[in-house]
Amino acid sequence: MTVQKQEQSKKKTTFRLNPKRGPVRLDYALFGVGMVVCFLLFNHPDIQETARHAYILIRSTLDGDFLNFFENTFSRVYGYPYVNAAHYNILMYILYAIWELPLYLIERIGGFAFSDLTLSLWCKVIGVSFYLGCGFLVQRLAQQLHCRKTACRWAPLMFWLNPISFFTTVVMGQYDSICLFFTLLALVLFFEKKYWKFVLMAGVGIVFKFFPLFLMIPLLLLVEKRPLRLLGYGAASLWLYLPTTLLFMGRTGDAAFFNQLMSQRLFASVFSGGMMDASRFGLVIILICVAAYLYHPADDWALRDAALYGSMVVLSCLFLLVLWHPQWVILLVPFLLLVGMRQRDRAAFAYLNGAFCIGFFLLTAMVFPKGLEGNLLDLGALSPVIGPLYGLAELPRSNAFYFGLLPYFKELAPLLFYGPLFCYMLFALPLRNGSLADRLNGGHSEKFSNRLACWGIFAVAFVGFWLLPSLFSYLKTVGVL
């Protein structure tokens, strides 16, 4: 009887760790511990500024000066130390102000002030919460696309442990996950053919970042060819953006100027025309929109394949042609994952995804040095201890120096980022009998382990190309090494 129980126990263990099954408790436990540690240890100045902006919104509202909120952050009438004024839509700051209101009331009652570290970590919860929600929406989309059951089970962890989504949200504390959440939720509604709800949900995402607009237009052109109906959808998508923008017209501080600078990036990369230069990204969007209008999907599956592939192409071209901020790239992650899940040979696309993540960290180290490496420890939970101990003011900590020791680093790093995007767009092209990759491999597929792909890419890209170099450069600058 004892021998029988031991054999059954072994079988259960083997079953749980079988790569063909879903994640086990150990996978979730390791992820949870890693997320909490990185959440506490690292921080970016942007979330600290946003925390103070939300406080200014609370005080401006209580002082009866709500409509001058942007002007108040620009003129710093409340005296909080930060670098930039408020630049986002007012709904972003209302969300953070509601979340911070309990802390503000505790301060007023207790007669003390919370530190910038406490406020930033408190506000960091919002971005991380939406990031976790995005993982479940990726799983929902995988189910709608009828991906393999094992792929659907792994979908949340595939997104959460993707080095780019983990780094930009859990480490940096950025809030592009909010925009992504509503974008993915809108796509879920699109697949359910609830097009008015799709437009309204995309309109929520547009409030937080305007990127969903680039996806919404081609998706609508896939299913709607009537101009008047398209105009109606377009007007409905502005149901939140338009009134909140008009409310503060003429009272935006430097937000309008800042957003104009960001928008100009869409026109910076140009095609040299005969009369005048034209935006390359704009030309690509026109090409995609015309293709979407001309395309008539044969059935629901063709529509879903076209919608997923088209969205991936739009965002890939955005990061190929526009000067991006690292936190923006999380918007592309779910689409690369879902496209990879749809392929017969998932191993090849997992390798491409890993190379893309490595290229992301290498380019980030080159383009944004001394800001997204060991410096993120300076604003984390250990800063009250290590700050006075080592005197951390303006110490340069750049991983680019160490990566620069590699031969032809500057030439190879962009290829690791751009190369996979071109490969995704070419080989994931949906054809009548599967993608181009499926047609080329003739039905053959390599053995694929979701667990190995999930944890392997995280270990190599995040740990190997960001965490370890960042800690090494940090320890060197403070004199430990």
Residue with tokens 């960042």: 470
Residue 83: name the closest of 254, 203, 312, 275 by CA: 254
Confidence of residue 396 (pLDDT cuts 50, 70, 90): low
Residue with tokens 């403070």: 478
Q: What is the mean pLDDT of the chain?
A: 90
Indicate if the pLDDT at residue 59 is higher than 90: yes
Averaged pLDDT for residues 369-376:
82
Looking at per-residue pLDDT, the higher value among 406 and 303 belongs to 303
Indicate if the pLDDT at residue 459 is higher than 80: yes
Residues 71-84: tens digit of each pLDDT: 999 888 887 777 78
Residue 178: name the closest of 205, 139, 216, 215 by CA: 205
Confidence of residue 403 (pLDDT cuts 50, 70, 90): confident
Structure pTM? 0.93
> Rounded CA gap, 316 and 375, in Å?
29
Confidence of residue 441 (pLDDT cuts 50, 70, 90): confident
Domain boundaries, the chain: 343-481
